[in-house]
Amino acid sequence: MFVRTAGERDLDAIRAVLVETWHATYDAIYGAAKVTEITDEWHSIASLKARLIKPNSDFLVADDGKRIGGVAFAESIDGGKTVVLRQLYVLPGLQGRGIGGMLLDEIIESFPEAHAIRLEVEAQNTRAVAFYEANGFLRSGDVGEHAGALVYLRPLAG
């Protein structure tokens, strides 16, 4: 897999990655109907297309030339001092192969002026929590935007 900037031609494949990953991860937590409702809203083609042109952001895919196996989206806030990782998802069948780490590294490199990267993760998503902790993120005392979300921070060299 190689990491590259997402383009409009990738949107259907990106949506498919997000829908599959969300169902695999969150059906047991929220129920399949709620996950479908969330993915229909948050991961619609229109919503994804808007991210392609969002200022101060980067939208990446992990691609092996045949399929997209992972997606990451982040944006800078606080005048570029903080990067907020909004999405990092890898197809369930490809998890554990370093793709998430490649996407995370590329996101960090995309914001060289940033001092920290911040994210929220569902407390019950234990695989994601373990991934972020293994990649240098520390739990913050901040409250997340969504109920049940934990906030993690990682200082950057910036």
Q: What is the pLDDT of residues 59-86, one digit of tens each?
A: 999 999 999 999 999 999 999 999 999 9
pLDDT in tens, 101-128: 999 999 999 999 999 999 999 999 999 9
CB 56 within 8 A of CB 75: yes
Q: Any idea what DSSP says for residue 143?
A: P
Domain range list for the chain: 2-155
How far apart are the C-alpha atoms of 18 and 22, rounded to whole Å? 6
Q: Which CATH class is domain 2-155?
A: alpha beta
The CA-to-CA distance between both ends of the chain, in Å, stands at: 27
Degrees, nearest 5: CA angle 64-156-138: 90
CA-closest candidate to residue 97, choices 61, 62, 59: 62
